[in-house]
A and B are shown apart, each in its own frame.
Chain A
Amino acid sequence: MSELLLRLESLAHTLPQRPETAIVLTLAAYFAGLRLFSWLRSPAWCPPILLAACLLAGLLALLPLGYTEYRRGVGWLTWLLGPATVALGVPLYQQVHHIRTLWKPIVLTLPPAAMLAAGYAVGIAWLLDATPTVLASLAPKSVTAPIAMGIVEELQGSVPLLMGALLITGVMATLSITLLARWGNIHDPRVIGFALGVNGHAIGTVRAFDIGPTAGAFASLGMSLTGVFTALWLPLMWHFVG
């Protein structure tokens, strides 16, 4: 009996170190988050990923498992982010024909729009005396998460802060574009969709698909192009300025 207790005690030490513990917790929190999201009737300001992350943070705080230990254990799962980023090339290829029909406005709008999506926020934060880490974490705020994570590692910002910034940016872009389009009497789904994708990454793209398939297609195109373009110019620019 006492031997069983001893084994139980050693289990309590080894179990948190194992990858399966981290992966079970992540998957369980993910599905619980999805369940909670539909139970709350899918609120637009609170994506399911935020609910799932809160649940996971609660679990980690309760259990004898540190965040560093967890990150090490869950590495097997997060490695998949690499092939998943490569997979984004497939929808990009599928949407390229939209560029052919409207190449001039797209080619002229994309570079300034993508640069300003980063530039405004970084400029404002810099004027307000933000630290270099904060500036680096805010810079890729309009880029879709997997690409943005790659960029922020290049710029040596903080991945968690970037994630928070992505969330606020996505929600804010969706709100402001919906309102501004109504004010400015803009009804072209191609314009609204493209603006949603460039500024609001995946969150904006989801909203664009609510408007219609044309808006959705232009949003995915805007999101992919912003991601690629920002991944190329931002690290280069950062090297020169910083």
Chain B
Amino acid sequence: MLSILRGFLILTAFLMLGDITVELFALPISSGVAGMLLLTFWLLLRRRLSHDLGAASQPLIGMLALLIMPGVVGIFFQADEFSGQWLTIFIALILGTLLSSLTTLWLMQRLVATPRERPHE
């Protein structure tokens, strides 16, 4: 339990660092994303994941669906705002996702399948 709290302290401290970075350099990203990047760099430098950090991040990531629920619910109360645009939204999402899936598969398949550069590995 204390381990989770210590990990939570690290995560929240990185969120604060993210806040400070975004504010200082007037970055157009959210402080959560800035904090995540700073944490990743820090971990890459240290090359070691502490037990505390793992203990706190695992349950938080598992809770993500719950945490975004209040935002999801809003669509039922703000549906009128987008009346007349629903068809556009559906076409853009369905066709756009189909095209981008096709592109990614094609690109990645071609690049992975190109002749090996190191034949002896």
A191 touching B109, Cβ below 8 Å: yes
Which residues of B are found within 8 Å of A164, using beta-carbon distances? 72, 75, 89
A138 in contact with B71 given A84-B60, A112-B107, A120-B100 (CB within 8 Å): no
Nearest chain A CB to B117's CB is how many angstroms away? 8
| CA of A208 to CA of B111, assembled, Å | 20
Given known contacts A134-B88, A146-B64, A150-B29, A93 and B71 CB-to-CB distance under 8 angstroms? no
Q: A232 CA to B37 CA in the complex, in Å?
A: 11
Q: Interface with B: A1-9, A10-18, A38-46, A48-56, which one?
A: A48-56
The answer to whether residues A125 and B92 also contact, given A90-B54, A191-B108 and a CB cut-off of 8 A, is yes
Whether a CB of chain A sits under 8 angstroms from the CB of B69 is yes
Taking CB atoms, residues of chain B closer than 8 Å to A227 are 33
A202 to B65, CA, bound (A): 10
Q: Beta-carbon contacts of A174-212 to B below 8 Å, as 1s and 0s? A: 001100110010101011101100111010000000000
Interface string of A131-151 (1 = CB under 8 A from B): 101100010011001110111
Q: How far is the CA of A153 from the CA of B17 in the complex (A)?
A: 19
Whether, in the assembled complex, A27 has its beta carbon less than 8 Å from a beta carbon of chain B, the answer is yes
Inter-chain CA distance A142–B14, complex, in Å, is 25
B5-57 CB contacts (< 8 Å) to partner A: 8, 11-12, 14-15, 18, 28-33, 35-40, 43-44, 49, 53-54, 56-57
Interface centre among B33, B40, B61 (most CB of A within 10 A): B33
Q: Place the interface of chain B in its size category.
A: 35 or more
CB nearest neighbor in B for A57? B76
A-B contacts, 24 of them at CB < 8 A, read A47-B65, A49-B65, A53-B72, A57-B76, A70-B70, A82-B32, A83-B12, A84-B60, A90-B49, A90-B53, A109-B111, A112-B103, A113-B108, A117-B100, A120-B99, A121-B93, A121-B96, A131-B85, A138-B92, A147-B33, A160-B73, A168-B90, A177-B101, A180-B105
Residues of A within 8 A of B (CB): 22, 26-27, 29-30, 47-50, 52-54, 56-57, 60-61, 67, 70-71, 74, 77-78, 80-94, 96, 102, 104-105, 108-109, 112-113, 116-117, 119-125, 128-131, 133-134, 138, 141-142, 145-147, 149-151, 153-154, 158-165, 167-169, 172-173, 176-177, 180-181, 184, 186, 188, 190-192, 194-195, 198-200, 202, 227-228, 231-232, 235-236, 238-239
- Interface positions of B (Cβ within 8 A of A): 8, 11-12, 14-15, 18, 28-33, 35-40, 43-44, 49, 53-54, 56-58, 60-61, 63-78, 81-82, 85, 88-109, 111-113
Further pairs besides A30-B65, A158-B78, A163-B75: 17, Cβ < 8 Å: A22-B70, A49-B72, A67-B73, A80-B60, A84-B32, A87-B60, A88-B57, A89-B40, A90-B54, A121-B96, A142-B100, A154-B29, A159-B74, A160-B73, A162-B71, A173-B101, A176-B98
